Amino acid sequence: MHLRHTIIGELGRRLESGDAFVRCLAAQALGRLGNRAAVPGLLGLLADEDVDVCCDAVAALGALGDRRAVPALLEVYAQAPLGELRLAALDALGRIGGEQAGALLRAVAQERDATWDEVGPVGWDRYWDARRTAVSALGRLGDPSAAPVLARLLADEDGEDVASLALTALAALGPAGAEVVCAQVRGGLPLVRRAAARTAGEQHLAVAQAALLEALKGADPELRVEALRALARLEAPLPGMSWLRLARDADPAVRAAAAGMRTDLPAGSHADGLRALAGDPDGPTRAAALRALAAWHPDGAREVLVAALQDPDPAVLSAAAHGLPGSPDRRAHGILCAVARCARYTLPRRLAALEALEAFPREWSAPLWHELLADEQGAMRLTCLRALCRAGDPEAGALLAAVLRGEVVPAQADPGPPPAPGERTTGELGRDAAALAAPSSDPPPRSTVEALLRPAAAAAESGQEPAPATLELDESERECLALVEENLRTGEQGGRAHRLPVHTELRVQAAHLVGSEGVAAHGEVVAALIAMLAGTETPLRVAAAEALGRLATRDAIEPLRACLDALDPEVRLAAVRSLGRIGRSDDLQAIYAAWPDRDHLVRREQVRVLGATPAPANAQLLRQALADPEASVVQASAMALLEHGCRESLDDVLAAIGRFPDRDWSGLGERLLSRAGERAFQALGAWLDDPHRLGGHALAISLLEEMARTAAETPSGDEPQPAASHG
């Protein structure tokens, strides 16, 4: 720990620097390092002529939490002419605590100090910032005597801007604060009541349960929702009559929240209520009811869950599929297959069905996945391909290779069977349970566009021309209708799918499956990727190079080497990364021979790959890279040299990073400590003494701070043993 104390002492001496910027940086670093030996020096900066230095010293004292600073901070608050400095002093006092600090914080939170009228930028009253700071600090200190002050804030409409902060602070004050929160749930201002209910749940105030149950009877639906969510966090069951009333609430958000709540109703009555909610017009309510049925009443839930697999809302379908109890159900599997096949249904609905099918035995679902590899929707094809790969299908490799080659062309999509009586399909947002068995009329359109869509879609499905619109339309509606009619003519919305080639994006996504999802180095897949790599489309070549790197197959080495001379830098970058992943010495030599690339991102990757392997030749290249004009290349080179113990390169490294003082060099201080230790400390101290290195002072102090922090975290001493040198 000797070097840590030496660094802290050096930073303390920098508090007396003639450069205000250095004093600021030193104060900030000392505050973050948490050593209270810096308190006297920081107290000396409170009278500094530079207000930024004063603010940083005040903040550092607050971070150190030493009560020796309280009198001086109180004086700063009382006499400082600037609101920024007063705010900093108030925040610091709130972090330190004590009787005097608490009294000031209560006073600031309770009423406006007249001196605040004289400070703050035009258009903004800094007192509001001060009050928020004081309220947060009172909660952090946990003093119960602050409860009346915070309660008065909640009774004033002007206090609504700090309501959430005040309630959170009250919850931290123990029984006195919890009592105020409960009172606000029962009868505060509307906004405050909702915030109080939310706070009671977030802070797990069990004493608020009775107040939350009372709030469920209020007229504000948002309050009822917040109260239900809070009770759920408290794991408090609802009384049976309350649950039944809320399950019939006019607000769908309330019904959805109630559906997921436990209740003391008899099990049969609760299950009956959830079955009714499973037919609610609101999708989230149906989904919540299905999840609750599956969790609490699985024995009687199967029929409802199976029926819900036909729901047009993808979230409801997923909830039903995931909730199916027991062994796999053939009937449920058949419904999901029918939904996935039907081209009339929305893409999210079909994808939800495909996802659900992965839970069934592979031999049940594999035929459908093979079939839908020729679906018109690229997302459907990719999902099926991924499912086959995950399931370890014996034909997955060959199918993946076909997609990579672009050979899978969608067949004529099956529009699916006509809808069953009463079933609602595309464009309709809800249904009830009776709609599965009995016909029901369509709901009224929710917009002008929907009113126009319905007859057009019906006409397209029947093979007729869409009826002309009779409503008066504005320009945006006419444009939307023209687009819809064009889609209908091409069959994309009318169930008459047309053939499309496999898009580049689908081939790219298929390449991303290689090396993951259970896809190993299948011969056809490797050949298809090598063919993609030799193509002309950059996205395909990049995806192929990355996939070949994940496979780490020897067959890919020569094609990847050839890509080091590609015109497109993205291709060269992917090739360097993949050759580095394969990691053979000959391949690294090819990367070495290609140095320096004309693109800085490729050069950075070359440095990272070569820097990961200790070798004298690589060390020579890394030293050359220190002179690179691009900061990211220099950073990668410096990290690599220090990582491998090139202590003789320390001066070169420091000179190189000094050219980019504004860059984030996080991690470099740790390496400097472990590889150079005292030498690095002395070199950085020399930087701070050099008046011509003003731009590097911030970098030097940040590196010293990181070194000190790392030394404190190293149990074995100041300097870990250096790694073997490059030579």
What's the pLDDT at 447?
A: 42
**Other C-beta atoms within 10 Å of 499: how many?**
11
Q: Give the rounded distance of the alpha carbon of 617 from its chain centre.
A: 42
What's the pLDDT at 433?
A: 29
pLDDT confidence band for 437 (50 / 70 / 90) = very low
pLDDT confidence band for 410 (50 / 70 / 90) = low
Mean pLDDT of 87-112: 92
Contacts of 194 (CB under 8 A, 6+ apart): 220, 222, 223, 226
Residue 517 has pLDDT above 80, yes or no: no
Rounded Cα–Cα distance for residues 484 and 715 (Å): 68
What's the pLDDT at 496?
A: 38
Rounded Cα–Cα distance for residues 260 and 256 (Å): 7
Mean pLDDT of 115-122: 59
What's the pLDDT at 645?
A: 65
What's the pLDDT at 408?
A: 66
User: What is the percent of the chain with per-residue pLDDT over 70, rounded to a whole number?
Assistant: 81
Residue 333 has pLDDT above 80, yes or no: yes
Residue 451, phi then psi, degrees to nearest 5: -60, -35
Residue 238, phi then psi, degrees to nearest 5: -85, 145
**Other C-beta atoms within 10 Å of 97: how many?**
18
* Assigned token pair, 559: 């094609």
pLDDT confidence band for 442 (50 / 70 / 90) = low
Task: Compare 417 and 92 and report the one with higher pLDDT.
Answer: 92
pLDDT confidence band for 119 (50 / 70 / 90) = low
Rounded Cα–Cα distance for residues 231 and 225 (Å): 10
Q: How far is CA 267 from CA 208, 241, 257, 273, 417, in A?
A: 27, 14, 19, 10, 38
> What are the tens digits of pLDDT across the range 547-561?
999 988 888 899 999
Contacts of 610 (CB under 8 A, 6+ apart): 588, 591, 592, 595, 618, 621, 622, 640
Nearest to 33 by CA among 640, 709, 487, 516: 709
Q: Bridge partners of 263?
A: 238
**Angle at the Cα of 702 from the Cα atoms of 698 and 705, rounded to 5 degrees:** 140
pLDDT confidence band for 493 (50 / 70 / 90) = very low
Of the candidate ranges 257-261, 289-293, 419-423, 636-640, the one whose mean pLDDT is the lowest: 419-423
> What are the tens digits of pLDDT across the range 133-164?
999 999 999 989 999 999 998 887 766 678 89
**Angle at the Cα of 394 from the Cα atoms of 390 and 400, rounded to 5 degrees:** 65
Nearest to 360 by CA among 415, 285, 309: 309
Residues 367/338, Cβ–Cβ less than 8 Å: no
Label residues 68-89 b or e (16+ Cβ within 10 Å = b): ebbebbbebbeebeebbbbbbb
pLDDT confidence band for 107 (50 / 70 / 90) = very high
User: Which residue is associated with the tokens 């209740």?
Assistant: 263
> What are the tens digits of pLDDT across the range 446-461?
444 444 455 555 554 5
Residues 404/539, Cβ–Cβ less than 8 Å: no
- From the number of C-beta atoms within 10 Å of its C-beta (0-12, 13-18, 19+), residue 419 rates as middle
What's the pLDDT at 663?
A: 87
> What are the tens digits of pLDDT across the range 282-312?
999 999 999 999 999 988 899 999 999 999 9
Residue 102 has pLDDT above 70, yes or no: yes
Nearest to 480 by CA among 445, 464, 444, 456: 456
What's the pLDDT at 553?
A: 84
* Assigned token pair, 249: 């609430």
Residues 389/400, Cβ–Cβ less than 8 Å: yes
CA torsion sign for 629, 635, 637, 638 is positive
Q: Phi-psi category of 271—alpha, beta or left, where left has phi over 0 and alpha has psi -120 to 50?
A: alpha
Instruction: Say whether the peptide bond before residue 596 is cis (omega within 30 degrees of 0).
Output: yes
> What are the tens digits of pLDDT across the range 19-76?
899 999 999 999 999 989 999 999 999 999 999 999 999 999 999 999 999 999 999 9
Of the candidate ranges 216-220, 396-400, 463-467, 711-715, the one whose mean pLDDT is the lowest: 463-467
What's the pLDDT at 234?
A: 94
Contacts of 477 (CB under 8 A, 6+ apart): 448, 449, 452
Rounded Cα–Cα distance for residues 601 and 487 (Å): 43
What's the pLDDT at 122?
A: 53
Q: Where are the beta strands (DSSP E) in 147-266?
A: none
> What are the tens digits of pLDDT across the range 668-703?
888 888 878 888 888 888 888 887 765 688 889 999
Contacts of 346 (CB under 8 A, 6+ apart): 312, 314, 426
User: Which residue is associated with the tokens 């024995």?
Assistant: 299
> What are the tens digits of pLDDT across the range 244-267?
999 999 999 999 999 999 999 999
Q: Give the rounded distance of the alpha carbon of 92 from its chain centre.
A: 31
Residues 223/231, Cβ–Cβ less than 8 Å: no
Residues 683/651, Cβ–Cβ less than 8 Å: yes
Q: Print the SS3 string covering 324-385.
A: CCCCCCHHHHHHHHHHHHCCCCCHHHHHHHHHHHCCCCHHHHHHHHHHHCCCCCHHHHHHHH
Task: Compare 228 and 435 and report the one with higher pLDDT.
Answer: 228
Nearest to 277 by CA among 422, 433, 430, 434: 433
Residue 440 has pLDDT above 60, yes or no: no
Residue type, 264: D
What's the pLDDT at 463?
A: 52
Arithmetic mean of pLDDT over the chain: 83
Residue 464 has pLDDT above 80, yes or no: no
- What does the DSSP 8-state code read for residue 563? G
Mean pLDDT of 570-578: 94
Residues 654/642, Cβ–Cβ less than 8 Å: no
- From the number of C-beta atoms within 10 Å of its C-beta (0-12, 13-18, 19+), residue 666 rates as exposed
Helix (H, G, I), strand (E, B) or coil at 634: helix
DSSP one-letter string for 590-633: HHHHTPSPSSHHHHHHHHHHHHTS--HHHHHHHHHHTT-SSHHH
